[in-house]
Structure 1
Amino acid sequence: MSQHIKTELPGPKAKAMIARDAEVISPSYPRDYPFVMSHGRGTEVWDVDGNRFLDFAAGIAVCATGHSHPDVVAAVREAAGEFLHISSDYWHERMVGLAERLARLAPMGEPVLSFFCQSGTEAVEGALKLARYVTGRSRFIGFLGGFHGRTMGSLAFTSSKYTQQKGFFPTMPGVTHVPYPNPYRPLFAGADQGQATLDYIRMLFERNLPPSEVAAILIEPIQGEGGYLVPPPGFLAGLRALCDEHGILLIFDEVQSGVGRTGKMFASQHESVAPDIMTLAKGLGSGLPIGAVVAKRRLMQQWTRGAHGNTYGGNPIACAAANATLDLVEGGYAQNAAEVGEHFMAGLGDLARTRPCIGQVRGRGLMIGMELIDPAAGGAPARALCDAVIERAYHNGLLLLSCGVSTVRFMPPLNVSRAEVDEGLGLLAASLDQALAAA
């Protein structure tokens, strides 16, 4: 147990809060362990019983600048002192300034426009509506393992766990799923997995899915919930070429991978591939709810007045947080994610050399996955071990989440220090060894 854990977990105050919650809150939230937060600073968080934890989940990659970064807090306070809300029927400086900034940062290589909303799933819904509107087509391609949200349009693409779709059929029709290339667990034997996936899509175009009816292909440039999978080199470029060949739009869902998470502003920049439309949320607001659809100007300018709207889109408080966040990410946090992420990956590699249950360490920047396997079962996913490691880490003072079938994911704030990473690696090693001993 970490020296910072002072009580049994959960402690008495946490137990009392959880009991109150059970009486009034939906049971649908997928909570993994009983952490009840009191406050946080940077990468550190404390529960209501005074126990201190390292947060390597960061609100599911939302707290990009850490908890309660003073610059973000100051920007929010200043904005709140002026006005809390004016609907997107009107104009204000922070909204226009944020859109100008995204226009400068966007990886499209040509002018873009932005549409603001509150979340990633809303951003995906907006991207899908735009793609249908400008192409006049109604079908889409998504990827197995993808997560794009839980509203009915985005849910039609979400396929990281069947739980998310169970009980909600039918969702939006017209979505065809194809495999996301995974060189570690190849679906296509003896083949380049990226090229094999592209060939699979071409086969669909010949036999089942008329390409002239496909509005867009929606993909995460690094797959998040599905396992923190990094596609093989050249795959995204091949997808871009395939879309161009058939007049299909390419949508990159950068809700989790964007805003410096991978060591660059956007994950697509690692492959120098430009999307037609991009979705953002999570880390954009450092914890305040904001999402964005960023699209090539020649596409989004086709939307006419009232074609799409949003009451809270461009909220001044959220825009203030986003502008302050981008100041910090551009000012060094993306670079820190690249450098400290490399250090983190090296430390995980050291762990893997002495623990055969670590099958692969993968990722970019501070978007890192550690896939756990059962060596005695031919490298099969070790789902129970993964769950046990997450639970033990909580009791040792380290907050983690899983993804895929048996992958522990690491997504600390972008300003996490090497010392904090080293502390986290020590807690992780202890948690892994405890889980193995109990198995």
Structure 2
Amino acid sequence: MRAFGTLLPTGFERSDRSRALAERLARVESRNITDLRDVPPFWTRARAANVEDADGNVFLDFGGAFGVSLAGHGHPFVREAIHRQTDLLLHGMGDIHPPRVKVELLEALVDLAPWADSRAILGTSGSDAVEGALKTAQLVTGRPGILAFEGSYHGLALGALAATHRNHFRTPFVERLTDHVHFVPFPSDGDRALAAADRTLAAGTTGAVIVEPIQGRGGVKIPPPGFLNRLLDLAHHHGALVIFDEIFTGLGRTGRLFAGDWDGVRPDIICLGKA
């Protein structure tokens, strides 16, 4: 008999267990978080590629939990590393009393970076990574403007949300979002997208160009070959920095360390997360 973690899907049936969990969740969580119009699977355990829900249904998780479970659910190496650290230190004091493991993590990240002399900022989410990147670009260039792409998703913190082109996330908060963001088409036609970017960048107020090398929530859209290189050259010509949001694509998820590696592109800033 196959072990859990190597099972094929068993089918999908709802029971009172899931419906009861949905009712309990609705009583305690903001309705803006989990969509309960259709009762979703409530996960109870996971291993490798398998996830089991409260009704006993077994699934193959092709999404890797939005890419977080890059090595599969419950990989022994990951579990052992977590156990070792919890035996030593559960919580550090960040920039006041930095834990040794923070130094080790930053050294490992910097070793992966495509630049000879790199620095990193740690955060708790992908939105944190994007916020740090946008702030860095403004500090370097002195320009608040941002060029982003239609269909983009960069997170839900205010700075990241301003660069996110998804109205169902943006609309309730549009009055609070910066008006320094300009959106241009994500390229199916690289020339048209670059022409639109050039018109925006020519104003001289844009300090950051943020792009997903492959759009994730926008529909797994891949730009034409050479587009990212041309975008980098165009941004630098106009004095802007280029940020690759590799939160969904980085750390080997596309078969190379970074998705930008497929075009041999080295941006100015890379955002990583979900791992």
Give, in angstroms, the shift of residue 124 of structure 1. Answer: 0.5
**1:161-192, Cα deviation, whole Å (9 max, x unpaired):** 3101111112122000000002xxxxxxxxxx
1:25 correspondence with 2:29: yes
Q: Which runs of 4+ in 1 moved over 6 A?
A: none
Instruction: Specify which of 168, 171, 189 is matched with residue 173 of structure 2.
Output: 168
Report the count of equivalent residues.
Answer: 264
Give, in angstroms, the shift of residue 203 of structure 1. Answer: 2.8
For structure 1, list consecutive stretches of 5 or more residues without a partner in the other structure: 183-192, 285-439
Write the distance in 1 (CA, Å) between the matches of 2:244 and 2:9. Answer: 43
Instruction: Specify which of 8, 11, 14 is matched with residue 10 of structure 1.
Output: 14
**1:329-378, Cα deviation, whole Å (9 max, x unpaired):** xxxxxxxxxxxxxxxxxxxxxxxxxxxxxxxxxxxxxxxxxxxxxxxxxx
**1:124-168, Cα deviation, whole Å (9 max, x unpaired):** 011111111121111110000000011111111111x31011111
Amino acid at match of 2:29: I
Distance 1:179 1:34, change over 3 A: same
Distance 1:114 1:168, change over 3 A: same
Q: TM-score, normalised by structure 1?
A: 0.58
CA contact (8 A) 1:10 1:34 kept: no
Give, in angstroms, the shift of residue 30 of structure 1. Answer: 4.7
Residue 134 of structure 1 corresponds to which residue in structure 2? 140
**1:196-233, Cα deviation, whole Å (9 max, x unpaired):** 21122223345xxx12x211100001111111111001
Aligned partner of residue 218 in structure 1, secondary structure: strand
Judging by fraction of residues, say which structure has more strand: 1
Pairing 1:279-428 to 2, within 5 Å after superposition: 279-282=271-274, 284=275
Give, in angstroms, the shift of residue 67 of structure 1. Answer: 0.9
Pairing 1:3-402 to 2, within 5 Å after superposition: 4-5=10-11, 9-31=13-35, 34-89=40-95, 90-107=97-114, 109-159=115-165, 161-170=166-175, 171-182=177-188, 193-206=189-202, 210-211=203-204, 213-282=205-274, 284=275
**1:47-103, Cα deviation, whole Å (9 max, x unpaired):** 122221111122111111111111111110110111111121222232111211221
For structure 2, list consecutive stretches of 5 or more residues without a partner in the other structure: 1-7
Aligned partner of residue 147 in structure 1, secondary structure: coil
Write the distance in 2 (CA, Å) between the matches of 1:261 and 1:30. Answer: 26
CA contact (8 A) 2:146 2:209 kept: yes
Write the distance in 2 (CA, Å) between the matches of 1:136 and 1:34. Answer: 46
Aligned partner of residue 207 in structure 2, secondary structure: strand
Aligned partner of residue 98 in structure 2, secondary structure: coil
Residue 361 of structure 1 corresponds to which residue in structure 2? none
Amino acid at match of 2:134: L
Write the distance in 2 (CA, Å) between the matches of 1:195 and 1:27. Answer: 42
Residue 296 of structure 1 corresponds to which residue in structure 2? none
CA contact (8 A) 1:219 1:252 kept: yes
CA contact (8 A) 2:248 2:273 kept: yes
Identity %: 38
CA contact (8 A) 1:35 1:47 kept: yes
CA RMSD of aligned residues (A): 1.6
Amino acid at match of 1:165: R
Give, in angstroms, the shift of residue 33 of structure 1. Answer: 5.2
